[in-house]
Structure 1
Amino acid sequence: MRAYHLGRILVALLAAAGLALVGQGLADLPARPPQPSGDEHRASTAASLPPLARAIPVEVRIPAIGVRAPLVPVAADGAGTLEVPPLDQPAVAGWYRPGVSPGETGNAVLVGHVDSGDGPAVFFDLGRLRPGDTVQITRDDASMVRFAVEGVEAYPKDRFPTDLVYAPAAVAGLRLITCGGRFDRGSGDYTDNVVVFASRTA
């Protein structure tokens, strides 16, 4: 397992024989990040919906790619390393707990493995999502929040779009992250991160 400490890179990137996850940071971010291109109607819809109170997300459903997975909180530990979903539970996704919860104003962040030693993991098909696909988040207050996908992008890991993922936003957004691109057997890591951008919808 390889882990990077919060600092210049700030969020851990797990890579162990294909168990690649995510990575980037949370500090020193611009106050108003550039927004990904997307459907203006969906952005307008998100802006018109009143933000929800904070609540812990417990499940994510993505019907277009057959995902229904429990969510576990992840954060930085005392050493400054990002916790990740359990290696022995590749069907589980993580919610970045220090950030906003899905439905609050701002960008909630979910992370998940792309594969495991046994085959595809929870976010294996994340790159197949298309604008208009929906992501449904169930929260522990019994509410369900729906998001519409605006775009899917792949970024080299050394050019991860930290501002687009973690910086403050004016509406309730969602970012889903996994690994993608070519698998480098030498490093035991994928070359890219796949990021799904979504905004809350009615």
Structure 2
Amino acid sequence: MRRFGNTAIAGVTVVALCSGAWLLRSGAETHPPPQPSAAQAHLGRDRDGSAHSAAPALPPSPPDRIRIPSIRVDAPLTGLGLTRTGSLDVPPAEQKNLAGWYEAGTTPGETGTAIVAGHVDNADGPAVFYALGALKKGDAIEVDRRDGGVAVFTVDAVEVYKATGFPDAKVYGAAARPELRVITCGGGYSPATGYQGNVVVFAHLTGSSR
């Protein structure tokens, strides 16, 4: 049962994803994850007016897997709740190919804003969403649902935000169509505090299959 709307998530939602343990341990021998260019940001205040029309909403169904072919992501999904401080819990860091979805909110494919989050790296190296910042407008995201269907989303924008100015309403706000946010760490990196912000992918439902 859904007890919270997405707006219940605090601005520190994915801070626990952002320690950057691998970069801290390996230093100059590693390459930081790709970051989105300005060309991948929203063109307008809220929406770009995507050339990809929205597909009809699907009934609620928990998601089991996320695939992003252009960056070779194929990962199971686990349910995530909120911590005692109001931030989104995160998948276990040792399971680097595991992503999570906010199970008290919208399920991917139904009307509203569904939230998926995952680590960018762990102490051993790149994790599930290491390449998320390399996504481009028009790329596809596929979500396997427990009802046997596949929800297909098209990327509208990829943006990076500082943790101190995270736009809660823009990322987590209600939507009149089925939308998806995929979130990991990004922005600048400091050995003292880890990643300084978050990469956020904005996408909307453009198809489904069984």
Alignment check: 8 A CA contact 2:138 2:156 kept: yes
C-alpha distance in 1, partners of 2:69/2:10? 36
Give the one of 173, 177, 194 matched to 1:171. 177
SS at match of 1:41: coil
Give the one of 185, 188, 191 matched to 1:185. 191
C-alpha distance in 2, partners of 1:118/1:106? 35
Q: Report the equivalent of 2:4.
A: none
- TM-score, normalised to structure 2, is 0.78
Q: 1:58 to 1:11 in 2, by over 3 A?
A: same
1:98 offset after TM fit, Å? 1.4
C-alpha distance in 2, partners of 1:120/1:111? 15
Q: Report the equivalent of 2:71.
A: 65
Q: Report the equivalent of 2:21.
A: 18
Q: Report the equivalent of 2:202.
A: 197
Q: Report the equivalent of 2:124.
A: 118
Deviations 1:61-119, CA, capped at 9 Å, x for gaps: 00000000000010114564532101110110010111100011011110010011111
Runs of 5+ unmatched residues, structure 2: 1-7, 24-43
C-alpha distance in 2, partners of 1:18/1:40? 37
- TM-score, normalised to structure 1, is 0.81
C-alpha distance in 2, partners of 1:179/1:53? 30
Letter in 2 for 1:38: D
Give the aligned length. 179
Deviations 1:134-155, CA, capped at 9 Å, x for gaps: 0000011111000000111111
SS at match of 1:164: helix
C-alpha distance in 1, partners of 2:9/2:69? 36
C-alpha distance in 1, partners of 2:49/2:112? 18
Segment drifting more, 10-19 vs 59-68: 10-19
Q: 1:91 to 1:50 in 2, by over 3 A?
A: same
Among all aligned residue pairs of Structure 1 and Structure 2, give the percentage whose two residues are the same amino acid: 40
Q: 1:100 to 1:7 in 2, by over 3 A?
A: closer
Q: 1:35 to 1:110 in 2, by over 3 A?
A: farther
Q: Report the equivalent of 1:30.
A: none
SS at match of 2:51: helix
- For residues 73-92 of structure 1, the aligned pairs below 5 Å read 73-77=79-83, 80-92=86-98
Segment drifting more, 160-169 vs 67-76: 160-169
SS at match of 2:107: coil
Q: Report the equivalent of 1:25.
A: none
Deviations 1:27-75, CA, capped at 9 Å, x for gaps: xxxxxxx964334322xx21xx321111110000000000000000101
Q: 1:80 to 1:195 in 2, by over 3 A?
A: closer
C-alpha distance in 2, partners of 1:7/1:130? 26
- CA RMSD in angstroms comes to 2.2
C-alpha distance in 2, partners of 1:7/1:123? 20
Segment drifting more, 156-165 vs 142-151: 156-165
